[in-house]
């Protein structure tokens, strides 16, 4: 265990300020994430140094398409999440601590070992992913600070519900964040995620203001987040921050508690991509349906194909010093 960051004592209770739930937690109890516990008036992280999953992934899998494309990321996570998304693909580890037994599992993996493993594996970055990195913030924070000194990049794959104060604390060591903007209504967020929309919107803007490279992902769930009004709202919101933010519109496949919902048809992704392009976004990508052509990067100025992909694999990279080979326009991103 490790004493948590971002909490205040309230006469035996504690208020956690790590995420926007801002849970008030009684003695012996845990917050919504179920991995932070009040022990005698002090809040502790129960998952510090306890990795439940690691792996070496293409950065495109996160997905990041305009951040060191073609590189690999050393991925790490613990159990737990501060959302309870009905469609969670990793529900077996994200929701595990919320069961009756409140199980906390994971192998001991020090932050020094994570940085060393990433370096030995020639990974350009460390990705805090699979579950929600906010809930293992102290673990991610210590790892990111060390990795930063070693010249290794750090990326969050996040639901965007971290508190502003926590984001500001880690921002100097965080190079990129892919934020899941899961829908565009408070009703959707309440029903599907058990959270609120507005803090996610605020944090996307905050990451950008702090100089963290941002990409946004929206899972297109038939009957839930595939209507044109929501998609147009998301596209216009992203554009209002900056038109250089890549938007990934990805296909849903039945999972967890949404097993009765059909997979997303390719036509829905094409519709979403067109909405994003009409809104003025420079980079809109289709995901989870390889080979449809929506995975490629095009020059926003002249339309030239500059990076061709099949799934997570780059099959052609025509960029010259990060610029379009045809019109010499610089393509937005990091490490292109």
Please say if the pLDDT value at position 100 is more than 80. Answer: no
Torsion of CA 127, 210, 159, 14, to 10 degrees: 100
Q: How many residues does the chain have?
A: 336
- For residue 118, what pLDDT band results from cuts at 50, 70 and 90? very high
The structure tokens listed for 51 are: 């990795």
- For residue 88, what pLDDT band results from cuts at 50, 70 and 90? very high
Please say if the pLDDT value at position 105 is more than 80. Answer: yes
DSSP 8-class letter at 193 = I
Query: What pTM did the predictor assign?
Result: 0.97
The structure tokens listed for 321 are: 């010093």
The structure tokens listed for 35 are: 């991995």
Mean pLDDT for the stretch of residues 120-149: 98
In sequence order, the 6+-apart residues with CB closer than 8 A to the CB of 321 are none
Neighbours of 5 (CB within 10 A): 17
Please say if the pLDDT value at position 293 is more than 90. Answer: no
**What is the tens place of the pLDDT at every residue in 55-87?**
999 999 999 999 999 999 999 999 999 999 999
**Average pLDDT over the chain, rounded to an integer:** 97
Torsion of CA 85, 226, 258, 293, to 10 degrees: -100
**Is cis: bond before 63, omega within 30 of 0?**
yes
**What is the tens place of the pLDDT at every residue in 20-37?**
999 999 999 999 999 999
Q: Which of 197, 71, 183, 200 is nearest to 125 (CA)?
A: 71
Please say if the pLDDT value at position 113 is more than 90. Answer: yes
Lowest model confidence (mean pLDDT) among 43-47, 86-90, 287-291: 287-291
- For residue 194, what pLDDT band results from cuts at 50, 70 and 90? very high
pLDDT given at position 25: 98
Q: Are 297 and 66 spatial neighbours (Cβ–Cβ below 8 Å)? A: yes
pLDDT given at position 292: 77
Q: Are 143 and 73 spatial neighbours (Cβ–Cβ below 8 Å)? A: no
**What is the tens place of the pLDDT at every residue in 209-265?**
999 999 999 999 999 999 999 999 999 999 999 999 999 999 999 999 999 999 999
Instruction: Look at strands 153-158 and 176-180 and give their pairing.
Output: parallel
**What is the tens place of the pLDDT at every residue in 164-191?**
999 999 999 999 999 999 999 999 999 9
pLDDT given at position 283: 98
- For residue 9, what pLDDT band results from cuts at 50, 70 and 90? very high
pLDDT given at position 102: 87
CA distance 244 to 331: 9
pLDDT given at position 204: 98
**Phi, then psi, of 220 in degrees rounded to 5:** -90, 100
CA distance 213 to 3: 30
Q: What is the 3-state secondary structure (H, E, C) of 13-40?
A: EEEECCECCCCEECCCCECCCCCEEEEC
CA distance 46 to 42: 12
DSSP 8-class letter at 50 = E
pLDDT given at position 291: 77
């Amino acid at each position: 265990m490790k004493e948590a960051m971002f909490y205040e004592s309230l006469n035996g209770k504690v208020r956690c300020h790590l995420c926007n739930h801002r849970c008030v937690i009684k003695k012996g109890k845990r917050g919504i994430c179920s991995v932070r516990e009040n022990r005698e008036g002090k809040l502790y992280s129960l998952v510090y140094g306890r990795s439940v999953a690691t792996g070496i992934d293409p950065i495109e899998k996160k997905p990041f398409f305009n951040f060191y494309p073609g590189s690999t990321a050393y991925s790490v996570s613990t159990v737990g999440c501060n959302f309870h998304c009905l469609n969670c693909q990793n529900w077996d580890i994200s929701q595990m601590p919320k069961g009756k037994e409140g199980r906390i599992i994971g192998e001991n993996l020090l932050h020094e070992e994570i940085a060393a493993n990433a370096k030995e594996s020639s990974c350009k970055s460390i990705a805090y992913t699979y579950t929600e990195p906010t809930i293992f913030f102290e673990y991610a924070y210590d790892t990111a600070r060390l990795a930063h000194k070693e010249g290794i990049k750090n990326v969050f794959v996040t639901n965007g519900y971290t508190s502003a104060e926590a984001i500001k604390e880690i921002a100097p060591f965080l190079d990129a964040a892919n934020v899941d903007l899961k829908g565009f209504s408070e009703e959707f967020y309440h029903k599907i995620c058990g959270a609120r929309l507005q803090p996610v919107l605020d944090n996307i803007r905050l990451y950008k203001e702090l100089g963290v490279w941002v990409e946004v992902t929206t899972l297109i769930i038939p009957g839930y987040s595939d209507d044109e009004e929501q998609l147009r709202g998301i596209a216009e919101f992203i554009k209002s921050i900056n038109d250089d933010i890549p938007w990934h519109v990805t296909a849903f496949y039945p999972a967890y508690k949404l097993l009765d919902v059909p997979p997303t048809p390719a036509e829905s992704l094409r519709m979403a991509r067109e909405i994003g392009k009409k809104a003025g976004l420079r980079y809109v990508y289709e995901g989870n349906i390889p080979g449809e052509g929506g995975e490629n990067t095009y020059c926003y100025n002249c339309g030239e194909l500059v990076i061709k992909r099949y799934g997570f694999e780059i099959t052609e990279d025509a960029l010259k010093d990060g610029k379009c080979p045809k019109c010499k326009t610089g393509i937005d991103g990091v490490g292109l």
